Structure 1
Amino acid sequence: MQKQFAPSKHMLALSIASLFASGGVFAQAAPPAEDTGATVVVTGTRVANRTALDTTAPVDIISAEQLKNAGNTEITQALSIALPSLNFPRPGLTDGTDTVRPATLRGLAPDQSLVLVNSKRRHSSALVNVNGTVGRGSASVDMNTIPTAIVRTIEVLRDGASAQYGSDAISGVVNIRLRTDRSGGEANVTYGARITEYDVVADAPPAGATWGAAPKSRSLTDGQAATVSMWKGLPWGESGFVTIAAEYKDQKHTERSGYDMRPAYLRINGAFDSREATFNRFDTWYGEPEMKQTTLFVNAANPLGNGVKLYGWASYQNRDAKSAANVRRAVQDQNLASIYPDGFIPFITPNVEDFSATGGVSWVMGEWDMDASLSYGQNKMRYHLENTLNRSLGAASPTEFFAGGFTYDQLVMNLSGVRTIAMDSLASPLNVAIGAEARREGYILKEGEVGSYVAGPALLANGTRAPAGAQGFPGFTPADASDSSRNAVGAYIDLEANLTSKLLTSVAIRAEHYSDFGNNVAGKLAARYDFTPAFALRGSVQNGFRAPSPQQQGFAATSTIFINGVATDLTTFKPTDAIAKALGAKPLDAEKSVNLSLGGVMRFGKASLTVDAYRIKIKDRIVLSENLIEGTLPGIVNFLAARGFRSAGGRFFINGVDTTTDGVDVVLNMPFNMDGGGRFDLTLAANANSTEVTKLPTADTLSAFNPAPVLFGRVNRLTFEKGTPRNKLSANLNWKLGQWGATARATRYGDTLSPGTSAAFDFTLSAKTLVDLEARYALTSKMNLAVGADNVFDVYPDAFPPALNSTGAAMFSNYSPFGRSGRFVYARASYSF
């Protein structure tokens, strides 16, 4: 592959040099007209003033008003109800994933979508999701680190774009465009709570129990959330701006536990403990986390004259969250009665700090519009444990620990140039965009305090060693700790022009070199043919890639288990670790994709209809392997011991899963006015999506085992294929009449599978429709009031039957595409100034 890369790199360099050198040969086209409004897009095209309906690929535009007209103030949640192809499940009991939740586009992994801010790459979260959720094994951008108050629009390109933007843009691109106001401002206060009721599904109590059957339903008011936000535009010089946004959010937790029928205490002389009758059997904190979050964002630019403009933005967020692990009952070996006589719920309280800063300058050089920028972003996550213990330390165990954490940072330097070249052979000027990018990424994993991971001397009543490490989240060990970095450089050329008055084409090629895995070349060819002003066909073919993330390469975690009373480490190994190699791991390589799309655009007066079908074939997807331990792979301990390793086995990241995703997006936008009845804006949208796993990874090093071990098992395969809705439909109606306004929204989520270890344990979540309503009134020209309810009819996902929920605690599946917290009722006051 190195030989293929070098000519491509030289060809790009010569092309770029010749284009700059040709500045005096071609006449420059007339300067573009001023931006005409929200329909003009910059994502997926580098042609000025291209509207969303005139592009070669589908682009959705979500306005600041759409983001605001909902009870939930998270950007990712707002996108999930605006875009049928984007889903945002809200898992619980999943450690750090409760705090940093990933979203999926077109049913693919969260890290296969690229997130930009003002068309510049945004840094990802330090968290890699290693629990059993949608997005397992991925490290994605946390869009909720961006306050909605700073957002002007969000553009979502539903098409692969690796040739244009680089790694990660396999399923699409989300480009968050910031406000550019030099005057005015707005303050918002939103307060709401979950006012809800759900049916309780529980098994019968055991024979002789001193507690009765579960109640048929629960009525709750919890999850109170207050959000205070504002933005203010300030002048900078004669025509520059400084736009400042701030947000504070205080959210209480929700609890959607099932009724735990298991005995909570040891029996006394064969009889149930009398405390069983009064024990709270809704004993699991399963729901939305508790959270306090402060965010500040600044965006600024100032023209200096002669075509030179300085620009930049910076953000900071501090997030303190609190979620829970599964309850440890008094009867369990993980508990110590002298510390917690009634058992305990371990609380995981991560702190997340997120920082970013971008500075740049744009200028005119001959006939080129040039741009250079430097961006830095850092995401840091630190784990603290409360209300827990390390059972192996006995009665001396602390009840709070620092469990360690990780940091991801990214430094990106960009240089680009855009120009148009008038050519007699073309129906429009040729738009030429070239650029280069250099990127450094770093990943640090820090160990926790000794007590959070150590295996102490305490024994259980049967004489075996007690469980080690902090309950709920064992700390990272010194062996897990790491500090690594990598570099990547790339260059691209992007051409777009009308070959005829009806045929628009674009071509892009990008070559990149990564210091850790090697080289990649991606290309894209797209076209659009306008048969009439009212009807056009568009399509594209391209190859793409996603580089393995530093988080996937550098993450490691160790917990201690006991085999025949001997303490043994069970580890998530780095792929380069010697033990991981013995188990079949190899250095991670890039995922590679081939994307095909074909769609149509129709206009009916002010209304429009787009239909876009796609196929995405991905090769060598990076996944987290199954646990290769004695319980799932008998003989693994002896296998490793024979090779000089003392380990109970483990898991690791590996390439090797191939998938094919087919789908179609349909979007209808229809504004209309009714005489005396106000203005209506109706959007109907639908997505149908299907993924098939066509290849699974294997490990030659484990060929001695019969049968061969499964590196990517049934649950994970079905999560890829059926873990997100097969279809999703949405209808959004906005109405405005004088001082009054309203929004009515309905979202239907299709069937989703919550997979089990065998077909007998599969559970299908049936299709559900959620309805959101909001009414608004302009009290004055500056003061606006709103009341509303998200999920007004209090819809819940199907609950597990008792046979699939032996603990009774987690009654709802984490695969639910809309969570399981019920109705959210809210009020909002806005003041413009």
Structure 2
Amino acid sequence: MRKFQPRALALAIAVASVGTVSTPSFAQQEGAIEEIVTIGTRGKPRSATDSVAAVDVISGSDFTSQGGVDTANLLRNVVPSFNVNDQPISDAATLVRPANLRGLAPDHTLVLVNGQRRHRAAVISWLGNGLSDGSQGPDIAAIPALALQSVEVLRDGAAAQYGSDAIAGVINFNLKNSDSEGSLEVRYGQYTEGENSYSVAVNQGFAIGDGFLNLTAEFAEAEATDRSVQRSDAQDLINAGYQGVNDPAQVWGSPEVDGDIKLWANFGTQVTESIEFFGNANYNTKEVTGGFYYRNPTNRGGVYGDGAELLIGDLTPNDGVGCPTVTLNGVTPDPVAYAQVQADPNCFSFQETIPGGFTPNFGGEVTDTSLLLGLRGETDGGMFWSVSGYYGKNEADFFINNTVNASLGPNSPRDFNPGAYEQADLNLNVDFSMPLSDNVSLAFGAEYRNEEFSIIAGQEESYIDGGLGTQGFSTSSNGFPGFSPSIAGAFDRANTSIYTDLEWQATDSLLVAAAVRYEDFDDFGSTTNYKLGANYTITDNFGMRATVSTGFKAPTPGQSNASNISTQIIQGVLTNQGVIPPNSPAAQLRGGGALDPEDSTNLTLGAYMSAGPVDITVDYFDIDVENRLSLSNDFALTAEDLATLAGQGIDASDISQFRFFTNQFDTNTSGYDIVATWNTDWLNGSTTWNLAFNYTDTEVTRRNPTLLNDNRVNLIENGVPDTRWNFTANHQMEKVRLLARFSYYGEFYDNEAGGEFDDNILLDLEAGYNFSDALTFTIGARNVTDEQGCSTNVCGGTPANALGLPYSQFSPFGFNGTFLYGRATYNF
């Protein structure tokens, strides 16, 4: 059984010293202290098994005892109900990857830091393999692992306690609060294909008067990976004598990450004997560069031609002299007509300047900042109070290089700044809690929030018609059109809320909890939500818990107002796809309109028990979401639609299809989690064994088929594996630590590859040696058996050489293969 030491803070959180997802022992040995959790309760901190809902507690060491630095990936490795994957060609989702808890959208999970709501990212995931399409969640990767004392994952709806977004659950990141301890960590890793990454991180606590200042700094960089094969159309061009065709023409892999800097501070001090000043802050920045689809120089519409004829621009259209028609014989232009184009300075083809085609590079610089300041204390009457203010901002400043604005012809730049998205959140909170008796505690409070989403216009060349638009050349930067001043702007929403939370220890064995929250939004009205829960300890070795609650998620200002153009494969064709505001007349003609909040009903039923040395929890959950928010089907644009959108300042001349946000469907998500933990003393040490199992099934229970077709239903129901489990053995000897982790990922559906992909089991190994009490060196390997998933030739409907992609780009564990790493840690 694990032992934990208490921390002397107002809300103490004890942290597991080894292992992965933690389940405390229920029959406690003398002197042992269970894990203490603060999430899901506003009364006194409780042990994980005393809570009315399931809470996973992951120690900071569980994160640092892995080979990576991305907190989202590290969380996936230890919490089976949490899914995140690489986004190799997914527009802005490549910058801030969408993550899913319990098979729901990323913005159905509320993220807290030290118990306070964290701001969401500026990125809207326009391309998210269905399940995450249109979501706008927080950037979990912004939090460095070395700054973490522990992470609590509440696997239950908690909107009545914390407000909007807490439908799938709540993740609370607790920052380190030591006033003297510190550590330095250096990590280097490399895939067996050769791409490397490294990070340097330092954490140090300082005593400041009667308080502490705990600082963390991390710097990391990662090379882009490439697992593509040559596209067959690109190889045909090379065989035909085309120059400048890259091999491979299109890259599939993880993006390049440069200058990933994370600076975090956690602080607190006593102002008086009864008042404490507290807060935390961060400043992060990184540059992420990914790839896009290859633009074939014979058939990329709007740039080169349609595959039958080259697109020829007449640079002097009013001189009465036209340009010749150039037909294609396979991939070869008619030599006589093409020679005439080359000889005439008033005629132009992009085959003259970019003969081998091009593959845009898309990315952005992501900047993330936040500041929380507050006071808390206790009155003479025993009432605890807290007043805090929080401001958080996330900005994604995009760039797209190696592309063109085709309507500018030979004068087109190759690199563009298409603009930026910004998200800013302001939260003001006042909270109170007090014991009404020895057995009853009451909490209540109020919150004011303001969210603002801004679209920043890009450089002029990224959105204008340079003159050749009327001749069939595409306007704007190809691949990711820039934001014009007409669609730029700031969109905000404010809401206020009040809540009350009651806990009653009815007997030594029975805890009853209830919460009610009222929120009023200035754009769509108000909502009231409740939560009821109970925990009943039947024997020293067995107990049960259950909750029922309602919840909601308000559509973000970005989802209600943003426009976007993305390029993706639709039925095997590279297609410009637009997202227009849902209240646009063009959207309203297809069933669009003002967005409503998503409403949920959550039910959980669980049991915890000790079977000899094994501690087990089993929790069932059922989540109904009504008026669920996502992007609609694709609709073809008519001439009337183009005119309507132009009147709104949206140039849709490059869009062949469009979609919009809609609330026109309901889902039911149900499943269960099983966690088992035990210890074995053997091999000159002690092994902590941990099994964590999750099964999640999502079903679309109501829909408008016009807005949500069968393919979209398949994506929502099967886009992530329904079954995940981890089995971990962590063996600790005097100077040596050995870890082995098996991770299972069930089958999943990939829309773009067009198929159901097989399940996989991954093996991670790690060995650490303590040279002294301060210095530890660790080596390890992720995915030892080099699993990359089922080939698209076998499981997909699209051959690998069609797009150059041999594996599913939405693989839940990635497709980069084995990763070897070394890590040195010095504690001081």
TM-score of the aligned structures, taking structure 1 as reference length = 0.85
Partner amino acid for 1:824? Answer: F
Instruction: Compute the displacement of 1:576 (Å).
Output: 2.9
Which of 220, 243, 260 pairs up with 2:214?
243
Q: Does 1:233 align with 2:233?
A: no
Change in Cα spacing, 1:430 to 1:343, as seen in structure 2 (3 Å) is same
Find 2:139's aligned residue among 139, 142, 158.
Answer: 142
Amino acid in the other structure paired with 1:491: I
Superposition map of 1:608-619 within 5 A:
608-619=615-626
Q: Distance in 2 between matches of 1:179 and 1:132?
A: 33
1:295 lines up with 2:295 in the alignment: no
The Cα of 1:49 is off from its aligned counterpart by: 3.4
Q: What letter is aligned with 1:447?
A: A
**Residue 329 of structure 1: CA displacement?**
3.1
**More off after superposition, 278-287 vs 745-754:** 278-287
In the alignment, the residues of structure 1 paired with residue 13 and residue 494 of structure 2 have an alpha-carbon distance, to the nearest angstrom, of 36
User: Bigger shift: 609-618 or 806-815?
Assistant: 806-815
Letter in 2 for 1:778: N
CA deviations over 1:247-281 (Å, ceiling 9, x no partner) = 001110001113311146769xxxx52358x9544
Take 1:592 and 1:481, find their aligned partners in 2: how far apart are those partners?
Answer: 30
Distance 1:695 1:737 in 2: 55
* Aligned equivalent of 1:349, options 328, 338, 363: 363
Confirm or deny: 8 A CA contact 1:480 1:557 kept in the other structure. no
What is the CA deviation profile of residues 118-143 of structure 1, one whole-angstrom value per residue up to 9, with x for unaligned ones?
Answer: 00000000111112524111000101
C-alpha contact 1:36 1:49 (8 A) present in aligned 2: no
1:68 and 2:70 aligned: no
1:826 to 2:791 alignment: no
**Structure 2 runs not aligned, ≥5 long:** 1-8, 17-34, 305-349, 569-574
- Residues 259, 73 of structure 1: alpha-carbon distance in 2 compared, 3 angstrom cutoff: same
Alignment of 1:201-280 (within 5 A): 220-222=193-195, 224-237=196-209, 239-263=210-234, 273-275=240-242, 280=246
Instruction: Please state how far the C-alpha of 1:91 moved relative to its aligned partner.
Output: 2.0
- Map Cα deviations across residues 429-475 of structure 1 (whole Å, 9 max, x no partner): 2011111100011111012112112233338xxx9512222122121
User: SS at the partner of 2:233?
Assistant: coil
Moved more, 156-165 or 814-823: 814-823
Tell me, what secondary structure is at the counterpart of 2:813? coil
Q: Where do 1:380-779 residues align within 5 Å?
A: 380-422=395-437, 429-458=439-468, 464-558=471-565, 571-604=578-611, 607-630=614-637, 636-638=638-640, 650-674=658-682, 677-697=684-704, 710-755=706-751, 762-779=754-771
Alpha-carbon separation, structure 2, partners of 1:131 and 1:587:
22
CA contact (8 A) 2:182 2:204 kept: yes
Alpha-carbon contact 2:509-2:538 (below 8 Å) kept: yes
Give the gaps of 5 or more residues in structure 1.
Answer: 1-30, 196-219, 423-427, 562-567, 631-635, 699-709
Aligned match of 2:351: 337
Is the 1:435–1:491 contact (alpha carbons within 8 Å) kept by the matching residues of 2? Answer: yes
The corresponding residue for 1:286 is 252
- Cα offsets for 1:378-432 (capped at 9, x unmatched): 000111122221122111111111101110000000100111122xxxxx52011
- Cα displacement (A) at 1:677: 2.1
Q: State the one-letter code of the partner of 1:250.
A: E
Residues 264, 795 of structure 1: alpha-carbon distance in 2 compared, 3 angstrom cutoff: closer
Question: Is the 8 Å Cα contact of residues 266 and 331 (structure 1) preserved in structure 2?
Answer: no
Write the mapping of 1:161-200 to structure 2, written as runs, cut at 5 A.
Answer: 161-195=158-192
Matching residue within 73, 78, 81 for 1:82: 78
Post-superposition Cα deviations, 1:151-208, rounded to whole Å, max 9, x if no partner, equal: 100000000100011000001000000100100210001000110xxxxxxxxxxxxx
Measured against aligned partners, the alpha-carbon deviations of 1:713-740 in whole angstroms (never above 9, x if no partner) come to: 2232111111111101110111110110
Amino acid at match of 1:357: L
Deviation at 1:814?
2.8
The count of corresponding residues between Structure 1 and Structure 2 is 737
What is the alpha-carbon root mean square deviation over aligned residues?
2.4
Post-superposition offset of 1:641: 6.3
> What's the secondary structure of 2:251's corresponding residue?
coil
Taking the aligned partners of 1:279 and 1:608, their CA distance within structure 2 comes to 59
SS at match of 2:353: coil
* Residues 599 and 625, structure 2, Cα contact 8 Å, conserved in 1: yes
How far did 1:643 drift?
A: 11
- 2:613 and 2:169 mapped to 1: Cα distance? 27
Letter in 2 for 1:816: S
Check the 8 A contact 2:189/2:822 in 1, yes or no: yes
Which residue does 1:375 correspond to in 2?
A: 390
Per the alignment, residue 119 of structure 1 pairs with: 115
**What's the offset of the Cα at 1:612?**
0.3
Cα distance 1:33–1:617, how it changes in 2: closer, same or farther (>3 A)? closer
State the one-letter code of the partner of 1:787. I
Q: Distance in 2 between matches of 1:569 and 1:725?
A: 29
SS state at 1:659 partner? strand
In structure 1, distance between residues paired with 2:605 and 2:491: 42
CA distance in 2, matches of 1:304, 1:605: 49
Contact 2:755 / 2:797 at 8 angstroms: preserved in 1? no
Paired residue secondary structure (1:93): coil
Q: Which position in structure 2 is the counterpart of 1:24?
A: none
Are the aligned partners of 1:797 and 1:812 in contact in 2 as well (CA < 8 Å)? yes
Q: Which residue of 1 aligns with 2:272?
A: 305
How far has the Cα of 1:283 moved from its partner? Answer: 2.1
SS of equivalent residue, structure 1 residue 349: strand
Structure 1 match to 2:5 = none
Aligned to 1:48: 44
Which has the larger displacement, 805-814 or 787-796?
Answer: 805-814
**Which one-letter code corresponds to 1:246 in the other structure?**
A
Aligned equivalents of 2:136, 2:634: Cα separation in 1: 20
Q: 806-815 vs 638-647, which deviates more? A: 638-647
Question: Is residue 361 of structure 1 aligned with residue 375 of structure 2?
Answer: yes
For the residue of structure 1 that corresponds to 2:792, the secondary structure is: coil
Match of 1:144, SS?
helix
- SS of 1:781's equivalent in the other structure is coil
2:82 and 2:14 map into 1 onto residues whose CA distance is 28
Which moves more between the two structures, 152-161 or 51-60? Answer: 51-60
**1:478 to partner: Cα distance:** 2.4
Residues in 2 aligned to 1:411 and 1:642: alpha-carbon distance in whole angstroms: 35
Letter in 2 for 1:637: A
Shift of 1:344: 2.0
CA distance change for structure 1 residues 367 and 300 in 2, over 3 Å: closer, same or farther? Answer: same
1:755 CA drift (Å): 3.6
CA deviation after TM superposition for structure 1 residue 605, in Å: 5.7
How much does 1:288 deviate?
0.6
Q: Using the alignment, how far apart are the partners of 1:774 and 1:33 within structure 2?
A: 34
Q: Is the 8 Å Cα contact of residues 91 and 815 (structure 1) preserved in structure 2? A: yes
Q: Distance in 2 between matches of 1:37 and 1:778?
A: 21
Give, in whole Å, the separation in 1 of the partners of 2:537 and 2:391.
42
Distance 1:520 1:547 in 2: 10
The equivalent residue for 1:325 is 292
What residue in structure 2 maps to residue 158 of structure 1?
155
Render the CA deviation track for 1:647-704: whole Å, top value 9, x for unaligned: 6773211112100111000000112322x52011111011111110011137xxxxxx
